[in-house]
Amino acid sequence: MPWSSKQVVLPLLIGTSLGGLCFGALYLYYK
């Protein structure tokens, strides 16, 4: 079932990238 796996992987990938950007921004601000 490629649909279910893609529906899980895509939001997870987007969430990880956004989380990384937010973490990087906070790291630069508080450094």
H or E stretch including 19? helix 2-30
* pLDDT of the residue at 3: 62
pLDDT at position 31 over 90: no
What letter represents residue 7's amino acid?
A: Q
* pLDDT of the residue at 4: 72
Sign of CA dihedral 5, 8, 14, 20: negative
pLDDT at position 6 over 80: no
Output DSSP code: residue 31: -
**pLDDT tens digits, 12-30:** 899 999 999 999 999 999 9
* pLDDT of the residue at 2: 57
- Higher-confidence residue of 11 and 1: namely 11
